[in-house]
Amino acid sequence: MVLWAALLIVLFLNYQAWTTDYGPRPQPATPAAASKSERNGTGLTDEIPQAAPQPAAPQAKAPAASVENTVPAAGAAQAPAEQGAETASGEVVHVRTDVLDLDISTKGGTIQRADLLSYRQTKGESTPFRLENIDPSTLYELQSGLTGPQATPTHLALYTAPKTNFDLGNGDELRVPLTWSNDGITVTKTYVLRRGQYRIAVEYAIQNHSDMAWQAAQYAQIVRNDPRTKSSMFNYSAEKSQFHGPAIYNGTKYRKLDFSAGSEDSHLSEQVANGWIAALQHHFVSAIIPPKDQQFRMTLSAAGDQYRLAATGPVKTIPGGASGTFEDTLYIGPKLQSQLEAAGPRLELVADYGVLTFLAKPLFWLLSKLELVFGNWGIAIVLATFVLKLIFYPLSEASGRSMAKMKVLQPRLKNLQETYKDDREKLAKATMELYQREKINPVAGCLPMIIQIPVFLAFYWVLLESVEMRQAPFFGWIQDLSARDPYFILPAIMAAAMFAQYKINPPASPDPTQAKIMMFVPLIMSVTLAFFPAGLVVYWTTNTLLTILQQWNINRRIAAATQAKRA
């Protein structure tokens, strides 16, 4: 049973790796599937979403100073790129907080570079981790603007900025205003950043100085060139093996999107309230979270390895002489559970623990509390293993007692094997009768292993997905618990511990051949886990050592009780 369990784990993990490496690759879009902007040669970067067509709601005449939530008839709010949009390149506004270093272009107020100052590209180097960038091979921009039937400040329009450098310094809030004016309409687009936060508020303040009503709908979109990369089990890279691509939460369900040509998601268009869209990669995310309780149209379009994921809101009408506002929320940064939960509804789902989320989340909570006290994630893993061992102690105790009794019975089992060595059927019958007389369940010894499998997999996902453990050191040569042991020392220790556990327990089967096969389990497990996160090996090794101590104590007590009974 242990061999089958180990084999299932290996097959499951290798299936995931195979799917990532050799699954369907995005193909270039066919002319029939290409959008109008792509056929015109402007590409996804210059594509402007259209406001969501919705039926108009009955309303009373609004006072001059208010913003009407009027939604025009279908097709009334359309903003083709040729409609007065300025396409000249803008200046770059440099913005810096204690955790973010951004480049914002005055062309559309697009975030075209985002460096995460608290994270490094690789362990030991000084270069901060970069998300958004304008490198054509890995283009990753977060665009936003207003679209409508009249001239509006789309992500192609030119804004002006009061200065080109903004620094949070010792403050708690930094506001970065950009201004656009046209035909009596003035729009101030302000990015609001706060100390220690990766959440960014986007505020639009509209002043309509004309005599005519002005209509607009807000939108934000992620444009990314996201080619697939490969990793293998023997050249393992969590960054390459994890999902890269778009995702959506529609208010009730979270799902990752397939943007390859011909897929159902490649022409996504959904009306969503209290949801969000995001571009995912290992440990990091860029997300757009629309205002609460408003219907936004979420769309996805793709061309080859590039996709555009957009959220477009309802049209608002600003009467002549009135003012109005729009607001949006962005998240650019690591998948920190506490900040994700505060940024948007169920945004923490982007830290995807899979089907074992119900186990992984409590495990992460326990680990985070222990790390807060001891300041080391490796120590937290060791102590969490102690806690889990205590929780499962009653079951482990019962199983251990059964195995200890089996060890005492080994001489009698060998006698049966000698007596019935030529008749397997009688040997099996006599063995089962002996178990029944002594009230021993030989299967009970496997129960702790079976229960550990989902806990083991939950630990795997916590270590793999939790950015808090990215590049987290333990001690000595283990300087990154989320990466494999560089010298394979921990897997060797684990193999030795598992072999000691094998020797202290009775054979799992009276069959000598099967008993010899079981001797290879430590080697199989150590080779399998050698290429997985070191934190996972720390957990398994600690658990094995605790099991050995527990079983040794049980064996000692059972042997003493047996001798006393014979005396």
Q: Are residues 518 and 463 in the same domain?
A: yes
**Among 126-135, 166-175, 206-215, 463-472, which stretch is predicted with the lowest mean pLDDT?**
463-472
Q: Which residues contact 60 (CB under 8 A, 6 or more apart)?
A: none
Q: Are residues 440 and 529 in the same domain?
A: yes
Q: Which pLDDT does position 18 carry in this prediction? A: 55
Q: Are residues 509 and 476 in the same domain?
A: yes
Largest CA distance in the chain: 108
Q: Which pLDDT does position 442 carry in this prediction? A: 65
| 3-state secondary structure (DSSP) of residue 502 | helix
* pLDDT bracket for residue 73 (50, 70, 90): very low
Q: Are residues 344 and 379 in the same domain?
A: no
Evaluate whether residue 187 is within a structural domain. yes
Among residues of the chain, what percentage have pLDDT more than 90? 47
Domain end marker among 325, 352, 379? 352
Q: Are residues 311 and 369 in the same domain?
A: no
Number of domains in the chain: 2
Evaluate whether residue 60 is within a structural domain. no
Distance CA 35, CA 304 (A): 13
Domain end marker among 352, 382, 411? 352
Q: Are residues 377 and 460 in the same domain?
A: yes
Evaluate whether residue 501 is within a structural domain. yes
Rounded mean pLDDT of the chain?
81
Q: Are residues 379 and 473 in the same domain?
A: yes
* pLDDT bracket for residue 3 (50, 70, 90): low
End-to-end Cα distance, the chain: 37
Distance CA 34, CA 41 (A): 10
pLDDT exceeds 50 at position 36: no
pLDDT exceeds 50 at position 499: yes
pLDDT exceeds 80 at position 146: yes
More confident call, 388 vs 50? 388
Q: Which of 34-38, 393-397, 413-417, 557-561 has the highest mean pLDDT?
A: 413-417
Evaluate whether residue 234 is within a structural domain. no
Evaluate whether residue 22 is within a structural domain. no
Q: Are residues 346 and 380 in the same domain?
A: no
Average the pLDDT over 236-256 and give the result.
80
* pLDDT bracket for residue 65 (50, 70, 90): very low
Q: Which pLDDT does position 506 carry in this prediction? A: 60
* pLDDT bracket for residue 62 (50, 70, 90): very low
Q: Give the model confidence (pLDDT) of 282-324 as tens digits.
A: 899 999 999 999 999 999 999 889 999 999 999 999 999 999 9
Q: Are residues 326 and 271 in the same domain?
A: yes
- What is each CA distance from 64 to 67, 146, 249, 541, in whole angstroms? 8, 21, 37, 71
Q: Are residues 334 and 381 in the same domain?
A: no
pLDDT exceeds 90 at position 209: yes
- What is each CA distance from 533 to 171, 381, 525, in whole angstroms? 39, 12, 14
Q: Pick from 272, 475, 354: which is nearest to 15 by CA?
A: 354
- What is each CA distance from 343 to 119, 198, 329, 340, in whole angstroms? 20, 9, 8, 5
* pLDDT bracket for residue 368 (50, 70, 90): very high
* pLDDT bracket for residue 567 (50, 70, 90): low
pLDDT exceeds 60 at position 270: yes
Average the pLDDT over 547-552 and give the result.
85
More confident call, 469 vs 52? 469
| 3-state secondary structure (DSSP) of residue 186 | strand
CATH number at 205 reads 2.70.98.90
Q: Which pLDDT does position 25 carry in this prediction? A: 45
Q: Are residues 129 and 252 in the same domain?
A: yes
Q: Contact, 342 vs 232, CB < 8 A? A: no
Q: Contact, 519 vs 525, CB < 8 A? A: no
DSSP assignment of 333-365 equals: EE--HHHHHHHSTTGGGGS--GGGHHHHHHHHH
Q: Give the model confidence (pLDDT) of 85-141 as tens digits.
A: 344 678 999 999 999 999 999 999 999 999 999 999 888 788 999 999 999 989 999
514 is in which domain, residue-wise?
2-12+360-566
Evaluate whether residue 17 is within a structural domain. no
Evaluate whether residue 231 is within a structural domain. no
pLDDT exceeds 70 at position 544: yes
Evaluate whether residue 260 is within a structural domain. yes
Distance CA 382, CA 538 (A): 7
**Among 188-197, 239-248, 350-359, 386-395, which stretch is predicted with the lowest mean pLDDT?**
239-248
Q: Are residues 476 and 531 in the same domain?
A: yes
Domain end marker among 322, 352, 382? 352
Region at 352 (left for phi over 0; alpha for psi -120 to 50; beta for the rest): beta
Average the pLDDT over 44-53 and give the result.
69
